[in-house]
């Protein structure tokens, strides 16, 4: 395969490091966080047992800022936690940076993940007299632990057990994803860590132990690591480390020996960020859906984005603005919003919009899609729309970036930082967000029935498993790549919601392999592009189950009869293409509106493996930048 996928999970965002041992904690924490920088972050912090209490230092921006702060006001101690935060709930700021503390400053918690039900928990805690200082979901955790530990009068040894019991107890009240670690000043010397749906590894050293959200943070100190599974806990001291199950019973866990180098470790054992990010897509969808779906029509969208269902109900139409891959997601959005929410929708590249004199009916909702949230043309288009008196919803993957800050409402796709220049998991996050938006709009506008909304919801929830199935096509895709990586040109064709999939498949190929590739609506082929077809032309046809499949099959026949080398995506069990396509990739059956989310996966893999075989610089293709902050 050329890529290794040695681990069962994929890191989403935020970096966690913990240390218990005989050495000063701060340098170890800072070094560990530095090695997790590739995950992306916007603020950082540490908590250290210092003179019988917990000292905390936090700052916005790069780790150097935190380092400078700690130089001015050092924190000395042998047990500590460090965290780099990628903002989700609450923008990047010092108060929102981790660690978070309880009212007394005696419990410190760092957390990676999303606490879905933090709002009701926060309200209940506030009513019980707890003071909150941040806008984060995480801050409920130290306060919940504080409640559990209230009135504790036992010894230091009993405090260790009490802290681990308290962490277990509060996690029964919490819904969502977490990798977390807690310190309590009454239990000096101990770190309690827990995991569900976010990664956490324990590093076992000589008379010292570590936790981290990913292996690179540990490699300097130990190669013996234990991967925590969902529902498991670790109780660490310098001299010992215990593992517990969800009921607090001891678990015997065998350490694994890590033999990869740190460069491979940063990429989770993969050779490139792009392939790592392609494999993270089930998690991207899961995280983007988390807390955004149900209950439909009951304020969920307002809570998560600021946009009221009423605004969708009364919207005059939608105008989607974006560039590149995000524009392709926008075209899928047009199909969805028009068909299922009855909203007239225009979609336009931001660089065109900003230089014409657009006439936009009052009440049009503008949707700006941008992974980075920094694309200059999209930002300018957002400002132009706002100057025209329109409200803007941003869909993006970077909290605190210019576009979500400028927009009136913001839908954050929780895909975690995307490092490869070619956008993959962010695209799937955008498609997921557009499905969620349309579903809420359809309910608000009564353009879909309750039964349809329910089945759409179920379809969305089943996506992570279905994407795993798409990913399992990788060995077949590699064979196709081997057969076609020397081609000079490629055509991609699709219809309806999969016309933008064709555009995106072609963009992926051209940007990382430098092969000339074009995407067309399948019905357009006879109006010109058919002239390009000769027996050397690979044509990638998206022919999965859809209302227009019959027509796509005819278009495929037109290309085939002119000698095209056909690579077809079809739904498992489809017989009409067997013997006709040179390569057939069978995908699991899925509702048509969700099909681009499954179909793009083999096309991303095809681009990746072709580029790999051509020896291209996959993560940093020539002439391209990840954030296009200039016109």
User: How far apart are alpha carbons 367 and 322 in whole angstroms?
Assistant: 8
Active site residue 241: no
Candidates 48-56, 86-94, 108-116, 372-380; binding stretch for ligand AGP (CB under 6 A): 372-380
The verdict on 628 binding ligand AGP (CB under 6 A) reads: yes
332, two tokens: 């899928």
Q: Which lies closer to ligand AGP via its Cβ, residue 232 or residue 418?
A: 418
The verdict on 370 binding ligand AGP (CB under 6 A) reads: yes
User: How far apart are alpha carbons 112 and 115 in whole angstroms?
Assistant: 9
Convert residues 320-339 into a mask of x (bound to ligand AGP by CB under 6 A) and - (unbound): ---xxxx-------------
Closest approach of ligand AGP to the CB of residue 621, in Å: 8
Q: Which lies closer to ligand AGP via its Cβ, residue 287 or residue 370?
A: 370
The verdict on 378 binding ligand AGP (CB under 6 A) reads: yes
Closest approach of ligand AGP to the CB of residue 422, in Å: 4
Q: CA nearest 279: which of 531, 4, 62, 78?
A: 4
368, two tokens: 């700006």
Residues 63/30, Cβ–Cβ less than 8 Å = yes
Q: What is the DSSP letter of 250?
A: B
Candidates 125-133, 167-175, 238-246, 369-377; binding stretch for ligand AGP (CB under 6 A): 369-377
Residues 16/200, Cβ–Cβ less than 8 Å = yes
What is the arrangement of strands in the sheet containing 538-543, beginning at the earlier edge strand? 516-521, 489-494, 538-543, 565-571, 583-587
Active site residue 14: yes
Convert residues 411-440 into a mask of x (bound to ligand AGP by CB under 6 A) and - (unbound): ----------xxx-----------------
Q: Pick the catalytic residue: 62, 224, 253, 626? A: 626
Candidates 20-28, 152-160, 317-325, 526-534; binding stretch for ligand AGP (CB under 6 A): 317-325
Q: Reduce the DSSP state of residue 586 to 3 states and report it.
A: strand
34, two tokens: 């530095």
The verdict on 371 binding ligand AGP (CB under 6 A) reads: yes
Contacts of 101 (CB under 8 A, 6+ apart): 47, 54, 56, 107, 108, 109, 142
Q: Which lies closer to ligand AGP via its Cβ, residue 89 or residue 508?
A: 508
Of all residues in the shown chain, the one whose CB is closest to ligand AGP is: 324
Closest approach of ligand AGP to the CB of residue 233, in Å: 38
Q: How many chain residues touch ligand AGP (CB under 6 A)?
A: 14
CB atoms near residue 260 (< 10 Å): 17
* Helix locations, 354-448, DSSP H: 376-387, 402-406, 425-444
The verdict on 308 binding ligand AGP (CB under 6 A) reads: no
User: How far apart are alpha carbons 545 and 230 in whole angstroms?
Assistant: 36
Q: Which lies closer to ligand AGP via its Cβ, residue 57 or residue 435?
A: 435
Q: Which lies closer to ligand AGP via its Cβ, residue 370 or residue 546?
A: 370
Contacts of 547 (CB under 8 A, 6+ apart): 496, 592
The verdict on 511 binding ligand AGP (CB under 6 A) reads: yes
Residues 361/389, Cβ–Cβ less than 8 Å = no
Instruction: Give the residues lining the site for ligand AGP (CB under 6 A).
Output: 323-326, 370-372, 375, 378, 421-423, 511, 628
Active site amino acids: 14, 626
């Amino acid at each position: 395969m050329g890529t290794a996928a040695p681990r069962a999970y994929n890191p989403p965002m935020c970096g966690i490091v913990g240390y218990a041992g005989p050495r000063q904690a701060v340098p170890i924490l800072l070094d560990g966080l530095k090695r997790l920088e590739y995950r992306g972050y916007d603020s950082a912090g540490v908590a250290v047992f210092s003179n019988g209490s917990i000292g905390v230092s936090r700052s916005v921006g790069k780790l150097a800022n935190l380092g400078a702060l700690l130089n001015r006001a050092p924190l000395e101690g042998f047990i500590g936690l460090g965290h780099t935060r990628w903002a989700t709930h609450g923008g990047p700021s010092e108060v929102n940076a981790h660690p978070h503390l309880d009212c007394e400053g005696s419990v410190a918690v760092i957390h990676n993940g999303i606490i879905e039900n933090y709002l009701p928990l926060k309200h209940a805690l506030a009513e019980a007299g707890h003071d909150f200082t941040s806008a984060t979901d995480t801050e409920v955790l130290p306060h919940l632990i504080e409640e559990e530990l209230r009135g504790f009068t036992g010894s230091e040894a009993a405090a260790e057990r009490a802290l681990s019991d308290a962490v277990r107890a509060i996690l029964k009240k919490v819904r969502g994803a977490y990798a977390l670690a807690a310190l309590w000043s009454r239990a000096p010397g101990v770190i309690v860590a827990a995991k569900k749906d976010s990664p956490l590894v324990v590093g076992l050293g000589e008379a010292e132990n570590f936790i981290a959200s990913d292996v690179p943070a540990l490699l300097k100190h130990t190669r013996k690591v234990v991967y925590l599974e969902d529902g498991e806990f670790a109780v660490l001291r310098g001299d010992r480390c215990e593992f517990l199950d969800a009921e607090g019973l001891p678990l015997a866990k065998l350490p694994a020996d890590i033999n990869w180098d740190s460069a491979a470790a940063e990429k989770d054992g993969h050779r490139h960020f792009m392939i790592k990010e392609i494999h993270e897509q089930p998690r991207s969808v899961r995280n983007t859906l988390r807390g955004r779906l149900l209950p439909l029509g009951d304020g969920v969208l307002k809570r998560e984005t600021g946009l009221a269902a009423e605004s969708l109900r009364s919207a005059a139409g939608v105008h989607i603005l974006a560039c590149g891959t995000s524009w392709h997601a926008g075209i899928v959005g047009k199909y969805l919003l028009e068909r299922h929410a009855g909203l007239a929708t225009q979609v336009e590249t931001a660089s065109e919009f900003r230089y014409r004199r657009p006439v936009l009916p009052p009440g049009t909702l503008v949707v700006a899609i941008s992974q980075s949230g920094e694309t200059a043309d999209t930002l300018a288009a957002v400002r132009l729309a706002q100057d025209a008196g329109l409200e803007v919803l941003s869909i993006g993957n970077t909290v605190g970036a210019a576009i979500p800050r400028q927009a009136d409402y913001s839908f954050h796709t929780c895909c975690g930082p995307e490092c490869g220049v070619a956008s993959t998991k962010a695209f799937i996050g955008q498609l997921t967000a557009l499905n969620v938006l349309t579903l809420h709009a359809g309910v608000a506008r009564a353009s879909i029935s309750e039964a349809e909304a329910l089945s759409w919801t179920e379809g969305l929830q089943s996506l992570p498993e279905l994407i795993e199935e798409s990913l399992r096509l990788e060995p077949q895709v590699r064979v196709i790549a081997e057969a076609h990586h020397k081609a000079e040109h490629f055509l991609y064709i699709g219809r309806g919601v999969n016309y933008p999939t064709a555009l995106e498949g072609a963009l992926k190929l051209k940007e990382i392999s430098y092969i000339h590739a074009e995407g067309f609506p399948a019905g357009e082929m006879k109006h010109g592009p058919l002239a390009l077809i000769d027996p050397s032309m690979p044509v990638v046809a998206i022919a999965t189950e859809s209302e227009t499949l019959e027509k796509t099959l005819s278009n495929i026949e037109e290309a085939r009869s002119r000698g095209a080398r056909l690579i077809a995506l079809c739904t498992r069990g489809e017989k009409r293409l067997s013997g006709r396509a040179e390569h057939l990739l069978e995908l699991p059956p899925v509702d048509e509106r969700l099909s681009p989310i499954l179909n793009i996966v083999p096309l991303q893999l095809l681009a990746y493996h072709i580029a790999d075989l051509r020896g291209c610089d996959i993560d940093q293709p020539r002439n391209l930048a990840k954030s296009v902050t200039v016109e």
